[in-house]
Chains A and B, each alone.
Chain A
């Protein structure tokens, strides 16, 4: 080594590993619940990091506080489903009730979707999650916390239920893995996934067998499997449900993927709001380790090894973008990478990586157990397979459902979710949260199918179905969705960082009577720039909610823009944020 190399203190590649857990610990133990500069300096020294690098990450994730937060910090979710089900009223009530409280004692703000859309509205007090409470019950929860006796938040535990996608039904789980350890039939496994046409259930719908094959073909000695359990899109509930009900299928899917492509390590990346699921997974992983299903020498075969690390996200919707997620695991700011190179070639720590959604891995296990024919025997209206969907918003029975692919949205909402709320009429729905945009009621009879929805300029996505009934303003819903993206933009690239903010400001103006004739061409140019020039899917999909509303709800929008009137009576009230 040359002298110059010795003289320079270059940060080792892995110095940031585990840095978020360290920061969380410091913040938890700090009496004022923040990260003082001296502590950050110590972290930097201990890890051989530059001060700027520690500051860069600590200031990036909203979970970390660089200044002491209020003693009681209340954050209300006002995204899609919560917005529909009373969040604005709840927040107004809280603000009225605690008006005049000192900022050091109490703060009331917003938090992005916390994944409890079926029990909307939800809010967080310090680190405790509440959902489904009335404004008065919410006030009580806050008062109790101020008094030092916080009530326990809502809980989410496994329930006894029969799911078609569980091949075990409680009997001899991990049979597929045991079988595979003997047969080593990698080609057979991938062929099954291909025959079943399994697609990425996180929303992108990329063929799973393709992802696995690419990484399998790589000659790299180090490869990784990452399970993306960072669902954060408003309306998405399925990963939490699957991790609660079917954790064994997800873990088995990860191990199968690992053994199939030749990876020895897997990361299960879970959002930090899912503490209960983290516990469930840890317990399940411990059981697996005891039975020799994971770790060194799986089931006694010295040549089969695979370990699984549960990685708790430091927070943020953008971490669900697969390259941002990898950046987070590497202990950096979760900013999406430019692609190509794709993660199958250059992924975690620069190595080939399979990134699969929770649902995809669970289904992969099911297909491996029961075969492609079994998978293809499910489905409706001539389409094949199963899908987990979360239905929220204006429906009688919001919740998680396992449904056949190809089911009509109208049937799904009626048969599973109990139909529209209070017998009202549905005016629009989002097939998959803000990313799918809003479709009009006239499209409710579309079958839930990837291609059909693509043709309708929407998508099946992650199956986060949000229903809007009469009385809702779709322009307001579009603003709500764009605002969510603005709040969650990482700020790396110009179009998304600045464009999202400007779009929110323009839409806000539209809902308050400030439309200008030149606006329409300006926003269309902006849509084009966002779609074409943003680095990642967040920026590219950002115009979708408003674009779809401009297309399908033109009459209502024009009422706002041209006549200064909100047909639903939601906008022009001046008191909305």
Chain B
């Protein structure tokens, strides 16, 4: 047993004869999982709270009754005979345990409509799969006499109560993953079941059809009746069954893959072709089926390049003459304002930094971050790859083992690239980085969670691996956002270089996703700057620059109503539609132009918050810290520029609109024509096409297909402007 100081932090257990040491409070299931010992389970999913109701994961802990591994935490055993004894001895696969599991499966199979809809369609009913494994396909128990019925009222989900095993996965997914709280258990005992709201049919309940319940369902109780139409410009859409046969999709529900049909395409790349180049943005990731892919990083010139393109409000206005798709907007580079780019040393360029082969996933960081690629990927041989959208990667990442593999890959491949990307660390030697690899800790920060507070004692230096870190400083009236640090940035060093106390509060961006960090302990950091004086000098320069910026900023804000600004979230805005009321004649040309640009449905309302003589119209602000990006199908995402857009895969669940604090996302009904397959799925049965209405969320996309937002373009009085929060503050000062 390991002790740190006097406090015990770890426990030792013996699972099937294998001695395993884990932190106190680790579940038996996780302890076994991390050591490759499989334990069957039906009611447990790694991303939701365990409840231990299906009892499939029972293990023999040599106590009065078996324990459910998913929920049983290992605690220090105060009553063990000798200190060197394990805290818990567990058998996961003894004859008696297997016999009990077989009986449980037979009990469930007795009432299961075999093969259920799920098994028929996707062949991945988890109950039927386990029953086959345990030889429990034919149950010796009498079948349920009365069927529990089907609910066909939802437009996208078929509910077959007969296949429900009361695992509560949908109940928890609905509440914990989506904050929807629609599904719960109803009734008692053998007559218990799941219900929506006050026992309504799913279609008339408050269900928003986000689909999370059917992704979570282990059986055919909840299945999709339709598929979202994802479209890729290139590639062949993959069949659900083909995807499910791949290792990487082992833990992903067939319902999910089928519902998101077309979100994964198969593509062929010839040797030498590029997947993406460093600096390009995309919202897809690649999975290699065949062939080898070289990963390159170029010089730090890319940084210089982007720095040059950093625009101010006026320069952006000027650059409207340039094709929008080619120029970068300011948002992309925010957070790098403190990085001094001076060219630095040459890094080896045009030499592959690594090679990936079949079974590897790449490009996923950029896909998840909606941030430009930090590497260039090029086919080393002819390749066959799967290209997938963000929500697919998101689903893969829910699996802890998958995430741990990504972590491992990161440490072995990417950490070095990551460090070398930054001019500040270019003088580090490969040997040093290799030594560092075993010392760093990969940490995950929940959305909104604070990493450290202003004034806290500094004990580590951080690299941002994925996500955005918000840097705020407390001042009278609230917190002022100093910067948003994207993947590839670093923070925490000013305190380590200075007086040891953090000068600002750092936290994970709210509500979007977790932030993954690399934590380098204070002493390792100090060792690094001792060994590499050049790194020290670079960091010091950044630090000084930082201080100057801050002083400037504080001087700027002193005469602006800061509290109001903070309270209304204006500082978060990347693109406020501001109408100067001195010029505005209320002609509504902006609204009309908006409607014209978007199939007759306006996405802006000429009303909203008034500040001084300005009106902030109700239209998406493209927050840096967006609360809306909670889409279950990945329809709402950020462009490279960090603009927020909603694409046509929207299923109208309204999650985003509900989450937008400013009422800037609206749901509209659109007429569509449905065809045979979709109609059959809805139970309509007619052979002919039929008109129907679908709900879609709409919000300002800054008319990204046009040269500039129509509202601004259409204003005859130069009253409408799109500005960032900071720019608006400057406008107020004038």
Contacts and interface: CB of A to CB of B under 8 A. Distances in A.
Interface stretch (B102-110, B357-365, B433-441, B680-688): B102-110
Interface string B610-648: 000000000000000001000000000000000000000
B61 to A, nearest CB: 11
A490 interface: yes
Contact of A494 (B55, B66, B197): B55
B187 A529 contact: no
A338 interface: yes
B447 interface: yes
25 contacts: A2-B510, A3-B569, A37-B198, A41-B198, A51-B197, A52-B195, A53-B181, A60-B186, A338-B71, A340-B72, A489-B189, A493-B52, A493-B54, A494-B104, A494-B165, A495-B104, A499-B107, A518-B140, A526-B103, A528-B96, A528-B103, A532-B58, A532-B66, A533-B58, A533-B100
A522 B107 CA distance: 11
A59 interface: yes
B222 to A, nearest CB: 15
Contacts of A59: 186-188, 195, 199
Given A494-B53, A498-B110, 17 more contacts: A3-B661, A50-B182, A52-B197, A53-B181, A55-B199, A488-B189, A490-B192, A491-B188, A491-B191, A494-B54, A494-B104, A500-B190, A528-B103, A529-B100, A529-B107, A532-B66, A535-B52
B189 A2 contact: no
Interface in A1-43: 2-5, 7-8, 37, 40-41
A53 B195 CA distance: 10
Interface in B49-77: 51-56, 58, 65-66, 68, 71-73, 75
B195 A493 contact: no
The 8 closest A-B pairs by CB, nearest first: A491-B192, A529-B103, A52-B184, A50-B181, A56-B184, A498-B107, A51-B197, A533-B55
B190 A333 contact: no
The A interface, classified by DSSP as helix, strand, loop or mixed, is helix
A532 B104 CA distance: 11
A512 to B, nearest CB: 13
A525 B103 CA distance: 7
A55 B197 contact: yes
A489 B198 contact: no
Given A528-B100, A533-B58, A535-B52, A51 B206 contact: yes
Contacts of A2: 448, 510
A375 B80 CA distance: 34
Nearest to B63: A340
Contacts of B68: 338, 535
Nearest to B572: A3
A424 B104 CA distance: 43
B183 interface: yes
A55 B195 contact: yes
B291 to A, nearest CB: 43
Interface in B542-572: 569
B79 to A, nearest CB: 13
A531 B184 CA distance: 27
B184 A53 contact: yes
Contacts of B111: 498
Interface of B: 51-56, 58, 65-66, 68, 71-73, 75, 96, 99-100, 102-104, 107-108, 110-111, 140-142, 165-166, 179, 181-192, 195-199, 206, 447-448, 510-511, 569, 627, 659, 661
Contacts of A7: 627, 659, 661
B107 A494 contact: yes
A506 interface: yes
Of A7, A494, A505, A540, the most chain B CB neighbours within 10 A belong to A494
B254 to A, nearest CB: 23
A389 interface: no
A492 B192 CA distance: 8
Contact of B53 (A37, A41, A526, A535): A535
Nearest to B104: A494
Interface residues of A, number: 55
A4 B511 contact: yes
Contacts of A60: 185-188
Nearest to B142: A505
A37 B205 CA distance: 13
A500 B195 CA distance: 23
A61 B183 CA distance: 18
Contacts of B102: 525
A462 interface: no
Nearest to B174: A52
B198 A55 contact: yes
Contacts of A502: 107, 110, 141-142
Contact of B189 (A3, A486, A518): A486
Contacts of B510: 2-4
A85 interface: no
Contacts of B96: 528, 532
Contacts of B189: 486-491, 497, 500
A491 B187 contact: yes
A303 B468 CA distance: 51
B190 A489 contact: yes
A7 B140 CA distance: 52
Contacts of B54: 493-494
Contact of A333 (B55, B179, B185): B185
A486 B58 contact: no
A493 to B, nearest CB: 5
A52 B72 CA distance: 28
A162 B381 CA distance: 96
A56 B186 contact: yes
Contacts of B142: 502, 505-506
A476 to B, nearest CB: 20
A320 B188 CA distance: 16
B505 to A, nearest CB: 12
Contacts of A51: 197-198, 206
Contacts of B107: 494-495, 498-499, 502, 526, 529
Most buried by B among A61, A338, A540: A338
A147 B257 CA distance: 63
Contacts of B183: 52
Interface in A496-546: 497-502, 505-506, 518, 522, 525-526, 528-529, 531-535, 540
Contacts of A333: 185
Contacts of A494: 53-56, 104, 107-108, 165-166
Contacts of B104: 494-495, 529, 533
Contact of B66 (A61, A340, A533): A533
A50 B205 CA distance: 12
Nearest to B507: A2
A218 B65 CA distance: 27
A264 to B, nearest CB: 28
A387 to B, nearest CB: 24
Interface in A309-355: 316, 333, 338, 340
A62 interface: yes
A74 B699 CA distance: 60
A546 to B, nearest CB: 15
B166 A497 contact: yes
A489 to B, nearest CB: 4
B190 A497 contact: yes
B65 A533 contact: yes
A8 B178 CA distance: 11
A532 B107 CA distance: 15
Nearest to B43: A494
A54 interface: yes
A499 B110 CA distance: 10
Which among B58, B110, B192, B569 has the highest number of chain A CB atoms within 10 Å?
B192
A41 B205 CA distance: 13
A529 B66 CA distance: 9
A56 B185 contact: yes
Contacts of A532: 58, 65-66, 96, 100
A502 to B, nearest CB: 4
B198 A54 contact: yes
